[in-house]
Amino acid sequence: MRNDRMLEEFIELVSIDAVSGQELEIAKRLTAKLEELGFTVTMDKAGEVFSGNCGNLTAIREGELDGALFLSSHMDRMPNGFGIKPVEKDGVLCSDGTTILAADDISGVCTILEGVRRAIASGKPLPRLEILFSVQEETNFGSKAADYSVFQAKMGYVFDAAGPTGQFINGAPGGYDLDVYITGKAAHAGSAPEKGINAAKVLCDIVSSLPQGRIDAETTANYPILSTGTTARNVICDQAHIAGEARSRDPKKLADYIERFKTTCQDIAQRHGAGVELKIVEEYPAFLVEEDHPLLTMAKQVCGRLAIPFTVIAGGGAMDANIYTGKGIPCVGVATGYTKNHTREEQMVLADFFKAGALCEALIEDFAESLKK
């Protein structure tokens, strides 16, 4: 069934320019909407931490029942998100072809707003509702800077996943950012190359020796950024930098890969007589929610009642659910009907989007019923 309120709100919000680090205007609009629904809204310091103009929004509405449910999506979008003009054709919403659509993740924001509105309007007793609209999910995971002491929920749903409504993401890889800084020795490339230590050669040997791409079903690695500090052709390169990442849904496999990364870089640099400095930063932990967890058993029950096909998959990309689960609030991702996100071909099936609003309402109400029991 068509839901013009959801569609109009989506168009309203994507029309507000809001890339990662510049979410303030959309945060202001969402604050007003949430306060109208009886939520107390606060903004944290994530903008200061990650050099943005806005922090995460935390919105809390006290309930009539003991217990709390956590809901989240993110306010930011990819860089090509200015001047979005949505176009509807044959039940599918897309941009005019010059920008992304930003269904990732404004569709999630609208889904939560719709679900909460409908649950409140039902007049039924509800749990405490805790909403986190995060910033910089696409870049820095602004959710890492949230104040988790204010949350009481023991589980939650993150409406931020591509695919048809009814698809839930129960796991995603942990990931590390990996940097290698190589120090060689400059020399004239024509008259005294043997006196130099070629940092560029060390760089190439390291990259060619490290496993990368699809390593196994759960593990990937990538080294897309290679640079040197040399601009002249007749100088032996004395500085080089490699920037990459590694991910795995299996923490042990990821730890093993990181160890191999260390030894490979150090051994090759030593063989060439070069200096090497490694920077290894965990960006997000892996998470896995088993299919018998209440988050998924309740979701399956709700989907059955709404005649929505229910599926569970493990994702290959990280999301705020990684951060929340790591902070002690187990979460799963929830699809809202979009595909081809991060591209100008991004689109959203409106029937799925509208179902997502009903699904969010039903999840809130079923959680409330579980508290009564």
Mean pLDDT of the 258-278 span: 98
- What region, left, alpha or beta, does residue 194 occupy, with left being phi > 0 and alpha being psi -120 to 50 degrees? alpha
Cα–Cα dist 333/335, whole Å: 7
For the chain, give the percent of residues with pLDDT over 90.
96
Tokens standing for residue 358: 């009903």
69: which strand partners?
A: 129
Which bin fits 317, alpha (ψ -120 to 50), beta or left (φ > 0)? beta
In single-letter form, the type of residue at position 84 comes to: I
Residue 360 CA to residue 157 CA, distance in Å, equals 9
- Return d(Cα 261, Cα 180) in angstroms, integer: 10
Residue type (1 letter), 269: A
Instruction: Give pLDDT, residue 315.
Output: 84
Question: Which ranges constitute the DSSP H helices of 251-344?
Answer: 251-272, 294-306, 320-326
Question: For residues 170, 174, 140 and 79, what is the CA-based torsion angle, rounded to 10 degrees?
Answer: -70
Angle between helices 24-36 and 103-121 (to 10 degrees): 10
> Could you report the per-residue pLDDT of 15-67, keeping only the tens digit for each?
999 999 999 999 999 999 999 999 999 999 999 999 999 999 999 999 999 99
pLDDT recorded at residue 91: 94
Task: Identify the band that residue 244 occupies on the pLDDT scale cut at 50, 70 and 90.
Answer: very high
Q: What is the C-alpha separation between 235 and 189, in angstroms, rounded? A: 5
User: How many CB atoms are closer than 10 A to CB 147?
Assistant: 14
**pLDDT at residue 279 above 80?**
yes
pLDDT score, position 229: 83
Q: Of the listed 23, 104, 114, 137, which one is catalytic?
A: 137
Please tell me the predicted confidence (pLDDT) of residue 372.
82
Q: Are 160 and 133 in contact (CB under 8 A)?
A: no
Q: Cis omega (within 30 of 0) on the bond before 160?
A: no
pTM for the model: 0.89
The pLDDT score that the predictor gives to residue 259 is 98
Band of pLDDT at residue 175, cut at 50, 70 and 90: very high
Q: Report how far apart, in Å, the C-alpha atoms of 74 and of each of 12, 108, 186, 338 are.
A: 16, 8, 47, 15
Q: What is the DSSP letter of 136?
A: -
Rounded Cα distance, 150 and 60, in Å: 9
| Cβ contacts of 364 within 8 Å, gap of 6 or more | 69, 115, 116, 119, 126, 127, 129
Q: 76 an active-site residue? A: yes
User: Looking at 76, 205, 346, 352, which residue is catalytic?
Assistant: 76
Does residue 84 register a pLDDT over 90? yes
pLDDT surpassing 80 at residue 373: no
Helix count (H) and strand count (E) of the chain? 9, 18
Q: Is the pLDDT of residue 230 over 90?
A: no
Calculate the alpha carbon distances from 228 to 203, 240, 272, 275 in Å: 9, 4, 17, 14
Residues 120, 123, 125, 126, Cα dihedral to 10°: -10
Give the model's confidence band at 123: pLDDT under 50 very low, under 70 low, under 90 confident, else very high.
very high
Q: Do the beta carbons of residue 196 and residue 185 sit within 8 Å?
A: yes
For residue 92, pLDDT beyond 80: yes
Percent of the chain with pLDDT over 70: 100
Confidence band, pLDDT 50/70/90 cuts, at residue 1: confident
Running DSSP on this structure, what letter comes out for residue 292?
Answer: T
Tokens describing residue 67? 């217990």
Residue type, 208: S
Mean pLDDT, rounded, of the chain: 96
Domains of the chain are: 4-172+286-372 (3.40.630.10), 174-284 (3.30.70.360)
pLDDT confidence of residue 169: 96
Among left, alpha and beta (phi > 0; psi -120 to 50; other), residue 21 is left
Say which residue the tokens 């929920």 belong to. 153
The model's confidence at residue 81, banded by pLDDT at 50, 70 and 90, is: confident
Determine whether 137 is an active site residue. Answer: yes
pLDDT attached to residue 263:
98
pLDDT tops 80 at residue 332: yes
Q: Please check whether residue 356 is in contact with residue 98, taking contact to mean a CB–CB distance below 8 angstroms.
A: no
Distance of CA 98 to the CA centre of its chain: 23
SS3 annotation, 182-221? EECECCECCCCHHHCECHHHHHHHHHHHCCCEEEECCEEE
What pLDDT shows up at residue 70? Answer: 98
Query: Residue 112 above 90 pLDDT?
Result: yes
Does 80 have pLDDT greater than 90? no
Q: What's the pLDDT at 39?
A: 98
Query: Quick one: tokens of 275?
Result: 């200096």
